[in-house]
Chain A
Amino acid sequence: MRDETVGDMLGRRGFSRRGLLKFAIAMTSSLALPPSLAPVMAANLAAARRQSVIWLSFQECTGCLETLLRTDSPTIAGLIFDFISLDYQESLMAAAGSAAELTLRQAVAANAGKYLLAIDGSIPVADGGVYSLTGGRTNVSMLQEFAPGAAAILAIGTCAAYGGIPKAFPNPTGAVGVEDVILDKPIVNIPGCPPIPEVLSGVLVYFVSFGRLPDLDDQKRPLAYFGTTIHDQCYRKPFYDQGKFAKSFDDEGARQGWCLFELGCKGPTTHNACASLKWNDGTSFPIESGHGCLGCSEPDFWDQEGGFYTSLAGGTGPGWRNAGIAAATGVALGAAAAIAARRKVP
């Protein structure tokens, strides 16, 4: 089955070429490619063999994997696992211990020079890298062993891309991103804490379709998804343009949906697609839920000057007394609602 094409495999499962073309149309739109490329992408996908992906988890919280697995988008998430062969992923595979290590070595040998190496988590390099081990081996030594045989490396999440939260001051483990360790391989950074699932899908589909990584920005992020700022696409931007800003999380401006810039929103300096792709099957994104953007897809976002609640223009941040009262009121109302709901249960 490994040698059959994606097209054959989809056909065997009753998926028509028309369905594949529809998928390709959606992906070209997502990747900001000309729609005329959709038939080419569909034909290339149909003729492709399933792409081997070897996924190593380093110094991480598993949030990246969680978000990618729990996407509700059946078309994207379902199909992407038809296009790839996830040959190694410690958290998902049944094998453990020496059996897992054997699986890894077999997958690397069988796909030498062709596999995509996916990394989530930062790489601790202080004190010889002893702060994160798998099977007694440091993350940095595993990365250095398995990177040379990869066609390209996907650094998934802000930790793998730039060091992320483990790198936050004072960075006791000496955490760094993949590109600080591996200098001679094509690397695509898919940052975010966590990253948006559709972005990973888009990058994988592009690679399977065209045999190379998509165009990247100067931070090695796919331009199609990171080419504009959150602010550029934010539905609250008209309020910014009109100079209407919420001054605290519970004032009249906040209730009217005014811009959160003065509450510390990092949307103007953060490149990501949250405002257009959104989260939870397109439900909303943090700004739509009333909180400013933290800038989680930018390097060193945790250590930015002034903290999360200080405006990019400076200042002292929001009035916390009122915000605290609002939060306490919210908790009390939530508890009351929960009690009321329980009473309805027969």
Chain B
Amino acid sequence: MKQYDFLGDDLVVNALLMEVADLLGGLIEQGRGGSIDLLGLPLSAKCMAAVEARLGDGEVSASLHVSGESVVRETAFAGVWWTRHADEAGRVTALLIEVAEVPEILRASLVDVRAGQLRLREMVAR
């Protein structure tokens, strides 16, 4: 029974990693990656841990403090990001594998940039 479980989990993990590889193909050839919503998949905790372990750690890690904490971490595979969003109560609201040069959440929005520019000028003028 345990062997069967292990085999099942292993197949799921490999299928997921193949999907990541396909998304990387899209990023390389068309400049468009994609994301996998891990909370939307019927993955066991063991499966989830296995996927995270096999993707490993990369060169970049960022934490965001916006409506709770988010952690964006590049995996051992460039362009593959492990992203975990939590709300202010610490509850995980999204868990994603993102395939992108830079995940969208890290980019500063021009709306916020303009507001920041205004605040900066006001601060200097005071």
Contacts and interface: CB of A to CB of B under 8 A. Distances in A.
Interface residues of B, number: 27
B66 A19 contact: yes
Contact of B87 (A16, A32, A38, A74): A74
Contacts of A248: none
Interface stretch (A20-28, A54-62, A265-273): A20-28
Given A16-B66, A35-B35, A36-B34, A72 B89 contact: yes
A22 B85 contact: yes
Contact of A26 (B64, B94, B109): B94
Size range of the interface on A? Answer: 20 to 34
B121 interface: no
A39 interface: yes
B39 A21 contact: no
A18 B87 CA distance: 14
Contacts of B37: 28-29, 34-35
A22 B96 contact: no
Given A28-B37, A29-B39, A75-B68, A18 B96 contact: no
A19 B109 CA distance: 10
Interface in B18-67: 34-37, 39-40, 64, 66-67
B115 interface: yes
B111 interface: yes
Interface string A1-28: 0000001000100001111011101101
A26 B108 CA distance: 19
A18 B66 contact: yes
A29 B66 contact: no
A247 B36 CA distance: 41
A73 interface: yes
B35 A36 contact: yes
Nearest to A7: B111
B126 interface: no
12 contacts: A22-B70, A23-B67, A25-B85, A25-B93, A25-B94, A29-B37, A29-B40, A29-B93, A30-B93, A34-B37, A35-B34, A75-B93
